[in-house]
Structure 1
Amino acid sequence: MSLDLTDRGVYGFATEEHLRFADVDANGHINNGAFLQLLENARVSYMRGIVRSGLPRFRVVVGRLEVDFKRQMFYPGRATACARLLEVHERKCVIGHGLFDGEGRCTAVLKAIMVSLNEETHRSMPFEADVRGALERFATSADGLGP
């Protein structure tokens, strides 16, 4: 399933974020690094509050981030940071993100490749079958929240 990550409608999960004066850079707009922090907050909240609910404990770590910046944001303001599962593989999953300004315009999209981690060896490991099955249900649902 190929989704347009710039479309707010593909995300069932979002966090509302305040843009901070501390995030303004020398060019007068919100720094690109702040975009990543806003999207990280959505990803962590999504994984903790949605994906992990009712699943056996598992851990993932960021293996790669791919970001496309679409437009500037300015202080003061608000943003909506969205996240949803896109793909599930044996040892990794892909989470898609969209960041939208206060007028609902997409300002950035991000794909995070998350690697399944064995906490004892600190090496990648396959997802357990029940975890992988649940993650696949989230990924194939219309809004990333499951069937």
Structure 2
Amino acid sequence: MSRDKRLQDRSIYPHWCTDTVRFCDQDAAGHVNNVALCAYLETARLTFMRDMGMMGGNPDGTRGISAGMTVSFLAESHWPGQVDLGTGVIRLGTSSITVGSAAFKDGACIAAAEMTVVRLKGKTPHPIDEALRAHLDKYRLKGFSEA
């Protein structure tokens, strides 16, 4: 799914944050390496989860955890600079959400990902309540319909 061209379109993302390209993010050839790209996408996912109230510390004991990530590396990138990170909801399940995210630098989409987050209470999947579902629904990616 992360090769889906729609994920490479800046205009579909309702949630944004940034990260800094560090000198140490480069490989021996001077390209930003795949581990750094995944770290940028992790920043996007975790910032989104925090802003949606899905991190730990909720009074009811619920939290969201990563259950998987499919990423495509789409273009070379280099130090220095900033990456713009867009994120939004692709699908809402019973106790999980699938988010799409992309990293943009110097006008190019350099990586795109599909990431699944499961809502847990303790170690057990916990249903997404109606209030959270309504909140998450406002962050659906443009052009993706409920599957």
The TM-score range, normalised by the shorter chain, is 0.7 to 0.9
- Checking the alignment, whether the CA contact within 8 Å between 2:14 and 2:88 is kept in structure 1 is yes
Ranges in structure 2 where 5+ consecutive residues have no aligned partner:
none
Ranges in structure 1 where 5+ consecutive residues have no aligned partner:
none
Aligned to 1:84: 88
1:3 Cα deviation after fit? 8.0
**Matches for 1:119-138 after TM superposition, within 5 Å:** 119=122, 122-138=123-139
1:106 aligns with 2:102: no
Letter in 2 for 1:129: E
- SS of 1:4 mapped into structure 2: helix
**Matches for 1:29-40 after TM superposition, within 5 Å:** 29-40=31-42
CA 1:134–1:12 in 2, change beyond 3 Å: closer, same or farther?
A: closer
Letter in 2 for 1:86: I
- Checking the alignment, whether the CA contact within 8 Å between 2:15 and 2:139 is kept in structure 1 is no
| Cα distance in 2, alignment partners of residues 109 and 73 from structure 1 | 14
Greater shift, 122-131 or 55-64, is seen at 55-64
Deviations 1:29-57 (A, max 9, x none): 111111111111122112212x229x986
- How many matched pairs? 136
- SS of 1:71 mapped into structure 2: coil
**Matches for 1:15-94 after TM superposition, within 5 Å:** 15-49=17-51, 51-52=52-53, 58-94=62-98
Deviations 1:64-92 (A, max 9, x none): 10101101111122211111112101011
Letter in 2 for 1:106: C
| Cα distance in 1, alignment partners of residues 120 and 67 from structure 2 | 10
Deviations 1:90-114 (A, max 9, x none): 011011101111x211011001111
| Cα distance in 1, alignment partners of residues 48 and 14 from structure 2 | 10
| Cα distance in 2, alignment partners of residues 129 and 4 from structure 1 | 28
| Cα distance in 2, alignment partners of residues 76 and 84 from structure 1 | 26
| Cα distance in 2, alignment partners of residues 15 and 132 from structure 1 | 22
Letter in 1 for 2:63: R
1:95 aligns with 2:96: no
Aligned to 2:13: 11
TM-score by length of 2: 0.81
